[in-house]
């Protein structure tokens, strides 16, 4: 079953039901470098708290996460 990924604002984390996403807990979320956004992933039906938000495929989210808003690698 393919995973779907949704970017949310950091302020929305409190609304996430971690029983309905694959992330383990609030403390295991990966945030954008400025801390303003994070994302969650799920399989199957869209959790109600994510309805209406943009869903990304695996390849799409990888492209986003490779961007400078999310990654600051050692070159």
Partner 1 sequence: MSTSSISLGLGLGGGKSATSSGRPAGGGGASFTNQYSASLDGTNDMVIYNATANGVNSGKTALGTFTGSMSFALWFKQSGGVYESLVSSRHSAWSTSGVSGNKLTAADGVQGKFDIDIAFGTTLRAFVYDSSSRTLLNLSAGSVTHNAWNFVAYVFDQSAGTHVVYVGDESTAPSVGSTLSNSSTMEDFASGFNVGDGQQATFEGLVDEFAIFDGKALSSSEVATIWNSGKAFDYSSDASLNPVGFFRMGDDDGGIGTSISNSGSGSDSADAINGASFVSGAGNTPGN
Enter the tokens of residue 29.
């979320």
DSSP state of 47: P
32 binds partner 1 (CB under 8 A): no
50 binds partner 1 (CB under 8 A): no
27 binds partner 1 (CB under 8 A): yes
Q: Of 9, 15, 17, 31, which lies in the binding site for partner 1, with binding defined by CB under 8 A?
A: 31
73 binds partner 1 (CB under 8 A): yes
State residue 4 phi and psi, 5-degree precision: -120, 145
Which run of H or of E encompasses 37?
strand 37-43
Q: CA torsion angle for 71, 36, 63, 59 (degrees, to 10)?
A: 130
54 binds partner 1 (CB under 8 A): no
Which residues are near partner 1 by CB under 8 A?
A: 1, 3, 5, 22-31, 39, 41, 43, 58, 61-62, 65-66, 70-75
């Amino acid at each position: 079953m393919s995973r779907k990924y949704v970017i949310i604002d950091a302020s929305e984390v409190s609304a996430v039901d971690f029983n309905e996403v694959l992330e383990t807990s609030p403390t295991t979320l990966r945030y954008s470098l400025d801390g303003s956004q994070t994302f969650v992933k799920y399989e199957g039906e869209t959790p109600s708290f994510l309805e209406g938000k943009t869903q990304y495929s695996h390849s799409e989210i990888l492209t986003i996460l490779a961007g400078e808003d999310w990654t600051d690698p050692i070159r």
